[in-house]
Amino acid sequence: MIVLKLGGSVVTDKDRAETLDGPALERAADAVAAAVSSGAVERLVVVHGGGSFGHHHASEHGVSTTEGTHDADAALAIHGAMKTLDEFVLEALLERDVPALPVHPFSAAHRDDDGDLHLSTGQVQTLLAEGFVPVLHGDVVAHAGEGVTIVSGDELVAELATALEADRIGLCSTVPGVLDTDDAVIDRITSFADVEAVLGGSDATDVTGGMAAKVRALLELDARASIFGLDALESFLEGDEPGTTVE
Ligand code: IPE
Protein backbone atom coordinates (compact mmCIF):
# COMPACT_ATOMS: atom_id res chain seq x y z
CA MET A 1 0.00 0.00 0.00
CA ILE A 2 1.28 3.42 -0.96
CA VAL A 3 0.45 6.78 0.59
CA LEU A 4 1.21 9.53 -1.90
CA LYS A 5 1.18 13.22 -1.07
CA LEU A 6 0.90 15.73 -3.85
CA GLY A 7 2.34 18.93 -2.40
CA GLY A 8 0.04 21.91 -2.56
CA SER A 9 2.69 23.94 -4.33
CA VAL A 10 3.01 21.22 -6.99
CA VAL A 11 -0.64 21.32 -8.05
CA THR A 12 -1.37 25.03 -7.42
CA ASP A 13 0.25 28.33 -8.27
CA LYS A 14 1.39 29.24 -4.78
CA ASP A 15 1.75 32.94 -5.54
CA ARG A 16 -1.83 33.53 -6.69
CA ALA A 17 -4.80 32.93 -4.41
CA GLU A 18 -6.95 29.95 -5.39
CA THR A 19 -5.15 29.30 -8.64
CA LEU A 20 -4.61 25.81 -9.93
CA ASP A 21 -1.46 24.74 -11.76
CA GLY A 22 -3.51 22.83 -14.32
CA PRO A 23 -0.65 21.39 -16.38
CA ALA A 24 1.13 20.14 -13.25
CA LEU A 25 -2.06 18.54 -11.91
CA GLU A 26 -2.62 16.85 -15.27
CA ARG A 27 0.92 15.46 -15.27
CA ALA A 28 0.45 14.15 -11.74
CA ALA A 29 -2.90 12.59 -12.66
CA ASP A 30 -1.36 11.03 -15.80
CA ALA A 31 1.34 9.39 -13.68
CA VAL A 32 -1.18 8.05 -11.13
CA ALA A 33 -3.47 6.77 -13.89
CA ALA A 34 -0.59 5.02 -15.67
CA ALA A 35 0.49 3.25 -12.48
CA VAL A 36 -3.05 2.24 -11.53
CA SER A 37 -4.01 0.97 -14.99
CA SER A 38 -0.78 -0.99 -15.45
CA GLY A 39 -1.26 -2.65 -12.05
CA ALA A 40 2.08 -1.27 -10.80
CA VAL A 41 0.12 0.13 -7.85
CA GLU A 42 -2.67 -1.91 -6.36
CA ARG A 43 -3.61 0.06 -3.27
CA LEU A 44 -3.10 3.79 -3.21
CA VAL A 45 -4.18 6.62 -0.94
CA VAL A 46 -3.66 10.15 -2.24
CA VAL A 47 -3.30 13.17 0.04
CA HIS A 48 -2.96 16.67 -1.33
CA GLY A 49 -1.83 19.86 0.33
CA GLY A 50 -3.39 23.28 0.28
CA GLY A 51 -1.08 25.42 -1.82
CA SER A 52 -2.71 28.70 -2.76
CA PHE A 53 -6.16 27.39 -1.80
CA GLY A 54 -5.63 26.49 1.86
CA HIS A 55 -2.75 28.66 3.01
CA HIS A 56 -4.25 31.89 1.72
CA HIS A 57 -7.46 31.52 3.76
CA ALA A 58 -5.66 30.04 6.77
CA SER A 59 -3.30 33.00 7.08
CA GLU A 60 -6.07 35.50 6.39
CA HIS A 61 -7.94 34.15 9.42
CA GLY A 62 -4.84 33.60 11.56
CA VAL A 63 -5.37 29.84 11.77
CA SER A 64 -2.51 27.33 11.93
CA THR A 65 -2.04 23.79 13.23
CA THR A 66 -1.85 25.21 16.76
CA GLU A 67 -3.71 28.57 16.62
CA GLY A 68 -7.42 28.00 16.19
CA THR A 69 -10.56 29.98 15.50
CA HIS A 70 -14.11 29.85 16.82
CA ASP A 71 -15.37 31.76 13.78
CA ALA A 72 -17.54 29.32 11.79
CA ASP A 73 -17.34 31.50 8.67
CA ALA A 74 -13.53 31.42 8.79
CA ALA A 75 -13.50 27.64 9.25
CA LEU A 76 -15.90 27.23 6.32
CA ALA A 77 -13.86 29.55 4.10
CA ILE A 78 -10.77 27.38 4.61
CA HIS A 79 -12.68 24.11 4.31
CA GLY A 80 -14.55 25.36 1.24
CA ALA A 81 -11.37 26.40 -0.55
CA MET A 82 -9.84 23.00 0.17
CA LYS A 83 -12.94 21.23 -1.13
CA THR A 84 -12.74 23.30 -4.31
CA LEU A 85 -9.12 22.22 -4.85
CA ASP A 86 -10.10 18.64 -3.97
CA GLU A 87 -12.77 18.68 -6.68
CA PHE A 88 -10.13 19.63 -9.25
CA VAL A 89 -7.87 16.81 -8.07
CA LEU A 90 -10.72 14.27 -8.10
CA GLU A 91 -11.86 15.39 -11.54
CA ALA A 92 -8.35 15.03 -12.97
CA LEU A 93 -8.12 11.49 -11.57
CA LEU A 94 -11.66 10.41 -12.50
CA GLU A 95 -11.22 11.70 -16.07
CA ARG A 96 -8.37 9.22 -16.34
CA ASP A 97 -10.43 6.34 -14.93
CA VAL A 98 -8.75 6.36 -11.53
CA PRO A 99 -11.57 5.39 -9.10
CA ALA A 100 -10.90 8.31 -6.75
CA LEU A 101 -13.29 9.19 -3.91
CA PRO A 102 -12.99 11.97 -1.33
CA VAL A 103 -12.52 11.59 2.41
CA HIS A 104 -12.69 15.06 3.97
CA PRO A 105 -10.61 15.21 7.16
CA PHE A 106 -12.89 17.86 8.72
CA SER A 107 -15.50 15.11 9.14
CA ALA A 108 -13.01 12.35 9.98
CA ALA A 109 -10.52 13.82 12.45
CA HIS A 110 -10.07 15.95 15.56
CA ARG A 111 -7.30 17.11 17.86
CA ASP A 112 -7.40 16.47 21.59
CA ASP A 113 -6.36 19.09 24.14
CA ASP A 114 -2.72 18.09 23.74
CA GLY A 115 -3.06 18.95 20.04
CA ASP A 116 -2.64 15.29 19.05
CA LEU A 117 -4.47 14.33 15.88
CA HIS A 118 -6.98 11.47 15.79
CA LEU A 119 -8.09 10.35 12.35
CA SER A 120 -10.61 7.61 11.71
CA THR A 121 -9.42 5.35 8.94
CA GLY A 122 -12.11 2.66 8.71
CA GLN A 123 -13.66 4.36 5.70
CA VAL A 124 -10.24 4.70 4.02
CA GLN A 125 -9.47 1.03 4.64
CA THR A 126 -12.86 -0.07 3.35
CA LEU A 127 -12.62 2.12 0.24
CA LEU A 128 -9.16 0.66 -0.45
CA ALA A 129 -10.39 -2.90 0.00
CA GLU A 130 -13.23 -2.15 -2.41
CA GLY A 131 -10.80 -1.01 -5.08
CA PHE A 132 -11.12 2.77 -4.73
CA VAL A 133 -8.40 5.39 -4.41
CA PRO A 134 -9.28 7.48 -1.33
CA VAL A 135 -8.25 11.13 -1.64
CA LEU A 136 -7.66 13.22 1.51
CA HIS A 137 -6.39 16.76 1.85
CA GLY A 138 -5.13 19.37 4.28
CA ASP A 139 -8.21 20.77 6.01
CA VAL A 140 -9.61 22.29 9.18
CA VAL A 141 -10.25 20.02 12.17
CA ALA A 142 -12.06 20.40 15.49
CA HIS A 143 -9.45 21.06 18.17
CA ALA A 144 -10.24 20.80 21.88
CA GLY A 145 -9.74 24.20 23.48
CA GLU A 146 -8.91 25.95 20.19
CA GLY A 147 -12.04 25.81 18.08
CA VAL A 148 -10.76 24.56 14.75
CA THR A 149 -7.15 24.41 13.57
CA ILE A 150 -5.42 23.27 10.38
CA VAL A 151 -4.42 19.69 9.71
CA SER A 152 -1.63 19.52 7.15
CA GLY A 153 -1.32 16.95 4.42
CA ASP A 154 1.96 15.81 5.96
CA GLU A 155 0.25 15.02 9.27
CA LEU A 156 -2.40 13.02 7.43
CA VAL A 157 0.30 11.08 5.57
CA ALA A 158 1.93 10.12 8.87
CA GLU A 159 -1.39 9.04 10.43
CA LEU A 160 -2.46 7.06 7.37
CA ALA A 161 0.91 5.38 6.90
CA THR A 162 0.87 4.15 10.49
CA ALA A 163 -2.79 3.16 10.68
CA LEU A 164 -2.80 1.39 7.32
CA GLU A 165 0.70 -0.07 7.63
CA ALA A 166 1.83 1.52 4.38
CA ASP A 167 4.68 -0.15 2.52
CA ARG A 168 5.86 3.06 0.93
CA ILE A 169 5.30 6.77 1.26
CA GLY A 170 5.84 9.28 -1.54
CA LEU A 171 6.04 13.04 -1.11
CA CYS A 172 5.82 14.66 -4.52
CA SER A 173 7.32 18.09 -4.03
CA THR A 174 8.51 21.10 -6.02
CA VAL A 175 12.12 20.07 -5.42
CA PRO A 176 13.73 16.85 -6.71
CA GLY A 177 14.55 15.73 -3.14
CA VAL A 178 16.26 17.01 -0.01
CA LEU A 179 19.10 19.20 -1.22
CA ASP A 180 22.55 19.53 0.33
CA THR A 181 24.44 22.83 0.56
CA ASP A 182 25.54 22.46 -3.09
CA ASP A 183 21.91 21.89 -4.14
CA ALA A 184 22.61 18.26 -4.95
CA VAL A 185 19.93 15.71 -4.02
CA ILE A 186 20.80 13.72 -0.89
CA ASP A 187 20.28 10.08 -1.78
CA ARG A 188 19.42 8.61 1.62
CA ILE A 189 18.71 9.90 5.12
CA THR A 190 18.66 7.48 8.04
CA SER A 191 18.96 9.88 10.95
CA PHE A 192 18.26 13.55 11.48
CA ALA A 193 21.86 14.08 12.53
CA ASP A 194 22.84 13.27 8.89
CA VAL A 195 21.10 16.39 7.66
CA GLU A 196 20.89 18.70 10.67
CA ALA A 197 23.60 20.99 9.30
CA VAL A 198 21.88 21.23 5.91
CA LEU A 199 18.30 21.57 7.14
CA GLY A 200 19.04 24.01 9.91
CA GLY A 201 18.39 21.86 12.96
CA SER A 202 15.19 21.93 14.93
CA ASP A 203 12.88 24.80 14.22
CA ALA A 204 10.03 24.60 16.70
CA THR A 205 7.85 26.95 14.64
CA ASP A 206 8.18 24.78 11.57
CA VAL A 207 5.06 22.69 12.11
CA THR A 208 3.09 22.93 8.89
CA GLY A 209 5.85 22.30 6.41
CA GLY A 210 9.46 22.86 5.69
CA MET A 211 11.89 20.13 4.87
CA ALA A 212 13.26 19.73 8.42
CA ALA A 213 9.79 18.97 9.79
CA LYS A 214 9.01 16.62 6.91
CA VAL A 215 12.23 14.64 7.32
CA ARG A 216 11.86 14.44 11.10
CA ALA A 217 8.30 13.11 10.81
CA LEU A 218 9.20 10.61 8.09
CA LEU A 219 12.11 9.22 10.11
CA GLU A 220 9.65 8.22 12.84
CA LEU A 221 7.55 6.09 10.51
CA ASP A 222 8.09 2.41 9.75
CA ALA A 223 7.48 2.76 6.02
CA ARG A 224 10.24 3.86 3.69
CA ALA A 225 9.59 7.32 2.27
CA SER A 226 10.74 9.06 -0.89
CA ILE A 227 10.80 12.82 -1.50
CA PHE A 228 10.95 13.66 -5.19
CA GLY A 229 9.77 16.07 -7.87
CA LEU A 230 6.89 15.74 -10.31
CA ASP A 231 9.23 14.41 -13.03
CA ALA A 232 9.87 11.35 -10.89
CA LEU A 233 6.30 10.57 -9.80
CA GLU A 234 5.77 7.85 -12.37
CA SER A 235 9.03 6.10 -11.55
CA PHE A 236 8.21 6.23 -7.82
CA LEU A 237 4.81 4.65 -8.46
CA GLU A 238 6.47 1.95 -10.56
CA GLY A 239 8.60 0.94 -7.59
CA ASP A 240 11.78 3.00 -7.99
CA GLU A 241 13.22 5.17 -5.25
CA PRO A 242 13.83 8.50 -6.91
CA GLY A 243 14.95 11.64 -5.07
CA THR A 244 15.73 11.27 -1.39
CA THR A 245 14.89 8.10 0.51
CA VAL A 246 14.14 8.54 4.22
CA GLU A 247 14.14 5.38 6.35
C1 IPE B 1 -2.40 22.85 4.29
O2 IPE B 1 -1.95 21.59 3.93
C3 IPE B 1 -3.90 22.85 4.35
C4 IPE B 1 -4.49 24.15 4.71
C5 IPE B 1 -3.85 25.28 4.87
C6 IPE B 1 -5.93 24.14 4.90
P7 IPE B 1 -0.39 21.38 3.65
O8 IPE B 1 0.42 22.12 4.66
O9 IPE B 1 -0.17 19.92 3.56
O10 IPE B 1 -0.23 22.06 2.21
P11 IPE B 1 1.04 22.28 1.29
O12 IPE B 1 1.38 20.99 0.64
O13 IPE B 1 2.15 22.78 2.20
O14 IPE B 1 0.58 23.33 0.33
38 annotated among ligand-binding-site residues: no
CA of 94 from ligand 1 middle (Å) equals 22
Q: Which of 52, 55, 66, 206 for mutating ligand 1's site (highest number of atoms within 8 Å of CB)? A: 55
Q: Nearest CA to 64 among 203, 208, 206, 202?
A: 208
CA of 156 from ligand 1 middle (Å) equals 10
The crossing angle, in degrees rounded to 10, of helices 22-38 and 72-95 is 50
pLDDT at 206: 42
User: Would you say residue 20 has pLDDT above 90?
Assistant: yes
37 pLDDT band (50/70/90 cuts)?
Answer: very high
User: Would you say residue 202 has pLDDT above 60?
Assistant: no
211 pLDDT band (50/70/90 cuts)?
Answer: confident
**In a domain? residue 1:** no
pLDDT at 171: 97
198 pLDDT band (50/70/90 cuts)?
Answer: confident
pTM of the predicted model, to two decimals? 0.95
Q: What's the total number of domains in the chain?
A: 1
Percent of the chain, pLDDT > 70?
A: 96
Interval 108-164: pLDDT, tens: 999 999 999 999 999 999 999 999 999 999 999 999 999 999 999 999 999 999 999
User: Would you say residue 5 has pLDDT above 70?
Assistant: yes
CA of 38 from ligand 1 middle (Å) equals 30
**In a domain? residue 238:** yes
**In a domain? residue 92:** yes
**In a domain? residue 2:** no
- Taking CA atoms only, the protein residue closest to ligand 1 atom 4 is 54
Q: Contact at 8 Å (CB) between 48 and 87?
A: no
Q: What is the CATH number of the domain that holds 75?
A: 3.40.1160.10
Interval 83-93: pLDDT, tens: 999 999 999 99
pLDDT at 15: 84
The whole-number average pLDDT for the span 92-109 is: 98
The whole-number average pLDDT for the span 200-205 is: 51
pLDDT at 205: 40
**In a domain? residue 65:** yes
204 pLDDT band (50/70/90 cuts)?
Answer: very low
pLDDT at 209: 55
14 annotated among ligand-binding-site residues: no
| Residue ranges around ligand 1 (CB below 6 Å) | 7-9, 49-51, 54-55, 58, 78, 82, 138-139, 150, 152-154, 208-209
**In a domain? residue 48:** yes
**In a domain? residue 215:** yes
CA of 19 from ligand 1 middle (Å) equals 14
pLDDT at 235: 97
pLDDT at 203: 47
210 annotated among ligand-binding-site residues: yes
229 annotated among ligand-binding-site residues: no
The whole-number average pLDDT for the span 27-40 is: 97
50 annotated among ligand-binding-site residues: yes
User: Would you say residue 201 has pLDDT above 70?
Assistant: no
What's the domain range around 151?
7-246
**In a domain? residue 132:** yes
